[in-house]
Amino acid sequence: MTLTAEQLRAFGRDGYLVVPGLVPEPLLAELTAEADALIARQPAPEGKVGFHHYFEHPSALPVAHRALRESGVLALAGELVAPLAVDLAFDHIQVATSIHGWDHSPGGGHIDGYGIEGQTEPHSFTLLAGIYLGDETEPGRGNIWVWPGSHLGHERLFRKRGVDVLMASGNGGHACMLPDPPDLGRGEPVLARRGDVLLAHYLLAHNQSGNMAGLLRRIVYYRLAAAGHPERRAATQTDALLEFAPVRAALTSPEA
């Protein structure tokens, strides 16, 4: 599969994209079994509801590690950042779950990589990819919420107040908690089906929502970085499309 010009423009405009039906069912079945085995080995505390996450070394999740490449997820991420190469940013893959019983709609979003003990700069990356293991075609299923266009809102924030504004605030990457917070628009749940893939810009504000659907929500997340990202980290905060040359080109095309 190849991303269309309209998909590239949508990513540039909204900061995220859902690619339908990318992962084939046989691979999904393997991935689901691996995630379920992890959850069975390390169950959430009794009585817990809402989000519960697992961050595992890729060697502990061999199917998930293989799925990143065999499913086409990494190849599509590469289309967003070409000619830069892209791969896992850190030594983990995340299995995110949401347990039934948490009735919650988030009031604001955050960006990842803040609130980590001992850090001196954000642990940033280029984009987030997620493989859906269940049906999230309706709200209230533990869906990730996003604030469309907020990657550009964060870009404006960092240009105006400096790239260290969120580090200095100590609020875990929540621009909405700053004094005189920026207007990042309205949040909305991402709707997707089993086998769909989420591609989201690092600077896109996002958050977790409640699960009242009676099912365990599961999704596999990969934090990806373009080659050389650590060296250009600060520059990517003030130029949101610095690592996304094909997206910038699609937005500036006469056909846009």
* pLDDT tens figures, 146-163: 999 999 999 999 999 999
Q: What pLDDT sits at residue 221?
A: 98
Q: Delimit the domains of the chain by residue range.
A: 5-248
Q: What pLDDT sits at residue 79?
A: 98
Say yes or no to pLDDT of 255 above 80. no
Neighbours of 67 (CB within 10 A): 24
Whole-number percent of the chain with pLDDT over 70: 100
Q: What pLDDT sits at residue 212?
A: 96
Beta-bridge mates of residue 5: none
Q: How confident is the model at residue 1 (pLDDT cuts 50, 70, 90)?
A: confident
Say yes or no to pLDDT of 117 above 90. no
> How far apart, in whole angstroms, are the C-alpha atoms of residue 234 and residue 240?
10
Class of domain 5-248 as given by CATH:
mainly beta
> How far apart, in whole angstroms, are the C-alpha atoms of residue 66 and residue 2?
20
Q: What pLDDT sits at residue 103?
A: 96
* Lookup result for tokens 């604030």: 147
Say yes or no to pLDDT of 21 above 80. yes
> How far apart, in whole angstroms, are the C-alpha atoms of residue 65 and residue 59?
8
Rounded to two decimals, the pTM is: 0.97
Neighbours of 165 (CB within 10 A): 16
* Lookup result for tokens 């004094």: 179
The DSSP result for 16-37, as a single string, is: EEEETT-S-HHHHHHHHHHHHH
Token pair for 147: 């604030």
Beta-bridge mates of residue 188: 146
> How far apart, in whole angstroms, are the C-alpha atoms of residue 208 and residue 144?
5
Token pair for 104: 């919650």
The DSSP result for 143-200, as a single string, is: PEEE-TTHHHHHHHHHHHH-TTHHHHHTSTT-GGGSSS-------EE--B-TT-EEEE
Average pLDDT over residues 60-69: 98
Q: How confident is the model at residue 100 (pLDDT cuts 50, 70, 90)?
A: very high
> How far apart, in whole angstroms, are the C-alpha atoms of residue 249 and residue 251?
5
Say yes or no to pLDDT of 118 above 90. no
Say yes or no to pLDDT of 120 above 90. no
* pLDDT tens figures, 206-241: 999 999 999 999 999 999 999 999 999 999 999 999
What rounded mean pLDDT belongs to the chain? 96
Token pair for 149: 């266009």
* pLDDT tens figures, 36-57: 999 999 999 999 999 999 999 9
- How far, in Å, are 18, 178, 200 from residue 63 at the CA level? 22, 40, 22
Say yes or no to pLDDT of 97 above 80. yes
Average pLDDT over residues 116-123: 89
Say yes or no to pLDDT of 256 above 80. no
> How far apart, in whole angstroms, are the C-alpha atoms of residue 52 and residue 191?
20
